[in-house]
Structure 1
């Protein structure tokens, strides 16, 4: 590496951390012993015909140090709750039917750790087909979703707020076909995360920022990768700015509308970070993907440099991402697919 230029060294380091991350985020032995095809079913229904009327009550009913898949099926409705999934309750799936009619909402702001509508501290969590929103507004930090557990995945969710919408805090995470909306640093944190086919919508009327990835040290195996995503908005936005000096973000095969600022990236008024961040793009398209006016400290990756960053292996996903269960049980009764719950 002695003869590499600084840009090449950054790419080499970004690819190398994939190998480390695979070893670091392997699930515990308990995950391998769980039957992934069958889950305990808990129903949440505001009308009273389910097991619980509130989502938090359903989560509270799961035993500490849970060792079975638990599927909490949330019937359509607007649930005005501030929800926490505790660290000692792994292997929970929280699922609506579709995000348009299954809404979790709260109104709190001012503190990035205390304001979230939904906080996930547990490992091996799955969220499906939910809207998760914080309606606090534009006057400060107001997190809709905080993800601080390891091996968490979200499918088809809508995550809505203004500032710090998604606190992608710590752990390895996967987001698929999610809609994420905000204005200021609306995807932030220090997780190692892959966003695949997600829609990122900026509601900033001036120069907001989509990401504020918080990586303070070169030794940290974290970063955000956006693969096959779409960026839209109403004003102008940067692709990212560095919360930490070694902030790391890549957009690949992503459609960028004209809302993306021509410079692309912002150094958050700290030029010293320009030499340590890893901000890159690969085969993006659309009017906002024009790199002719990009800042010189961002990178346009080659195919060889991008390849190791463009699979689920970058989060160790092949060892922990799980399909939806194919059967459910209530007590000792197995409910076959297609049966009425």
Structure 2
């Protein structure tokens, strides 16, 4: 058992990081957050993460922090659409692991599905251990204004289904082989580490934008790419697929051609694959496909800040008061509406 001082420090550390990194939730955000503790030893409010989520009332209006003690949580988790304003936080992603083993449909196989808006996850490992041979999503993100800080997201095929909405990933480690970041969200990946398990020409990204009117796409800013052998930066799942790599280190895992049209040459004239101030042994453009371009300074500007996902309005600190879970669950006072 940890000494009392260590336990107190851990609680202080968790709450402090919550204040620094938590995404705000607009004008309807609560000024007081409800704190729910998950601990497999039974010393928290719940032993399972899903039980803590289930305790949050439908149409929730209050910021809820679910603080998860270290452990391996074998759970298939869903944050439903009617439960916004939830933050789930561990203290160390290597120590707080959410794991499941499933495959098949990309919308049914995820270990962790975020359907709600205004969700935040911090310092967690989310993994699908199915392995090679089928679609096996670790994380599905289908809510709006969703942020991940310092998380590890692990699988082999379709690891991160970045489905729809505006999303922000900061200092995350994302690992997989085949199309392991896929979907049609508008997402900014900042200072993330992408690790490819591909042993041939599998793609890191498969972005699905299917209309020029959709303001979606993936931007990787200040990231790092490593891998076990060779891989492509992306392939065109949708005809207007949009992916940008800026200020990103590319190891020699990246194949010289860089990109793939998914066997449909008509997509070459409509996709938007761009690179800007990238570096490393995999960054040479001498043999890049001719339909992938380098951005000029002016062209790059819209993609280099959080403005591209409207982030200034929702990625910020939000509260400095906490209410503990009552013995009878969430009380009516704890779920009051806030202007």
TM-score range relative to shorter protein: 0.7 to 0.9
Mapped contact 1:207–1:235 kept (Cα < 8 A): no
In structure 2, what is the equivalent of residue 35 of structure 1?
30
Query: Aligned with 2:50: secondary structure?
Result: helix
Mapped contact 2:45–2:325 kept (Cα < 8 A): no
Work out whether 1:244 is the aligned partner of 2:238. Answer: yes
In structure 2, what is the equivalent of residue 131 of structure 1?
125
Separation in 1, partners of 2:209, 2:29: 33
State the Cα deviation string for residues 158-208 of structure 1 (Å, max 9, x = none): 000000000000000000000000000000000000000000000011111
After TM superposition, list the pairs within 5 Å mapping 1:152-231 onto structure 2: 152-231=146-225
Query: Aligned with 1:287: secondary structure?
Result: coil
Q: TM-score normalised to the size of structure 1?
A: 0.87
Instruction: Report 1 or 2 for greater relative contact order, CA contacts < 8 Å, sequence distance ≥ 6.
Output: 2
Mapped contact 1:125–1:153 kept (Cα < 8 A): yes
Work out whether 1:57 is the aligned partner of 2:51. Answer: yes
Deviation for aligned residue 1:326: 3.4
Separation in 2, partners of 1:150, 1:33: 15
In structure 1, what is the equivalent of residue 307 of structure 2?
313
Work out whether 1:94 is the aligned partner of 2:88. Answer: yes
Identify the match of residue 280 of structure 2 among 267, 272, 286: 286
The two structures, once aligned, show a CA RMSD in angstroms of: 1.5
Deviation for aligned residue 1:327: 3.5
Q: TM-score normalised to the size of structure 2?
A: 0.88
Deviation for aligned residue 1:329: 1.5
- Closer, same or farther in 2 for the Cα pair 1:41/1:246, shift >3 Å? same
Separation in 1, partners of 2:30, 2:63: 8
Separation in 1, partners of 2:168, 2:76: 23
State the Cα deviation string for residues 96-144 of structure 1 (Å, max 9, x = none): 1110000000000011010000000000000000000000111110000
- After TM superposition, where is structure 1 displaced by more than 6 Å over at least 4 residues in a row? none
Deviation for aligned residue 1:324: 6.6
In structure 2, what is the equivalent of residue 337 of structure 1?
none
Separation in 2, partners of 1:33, 1:294: 47
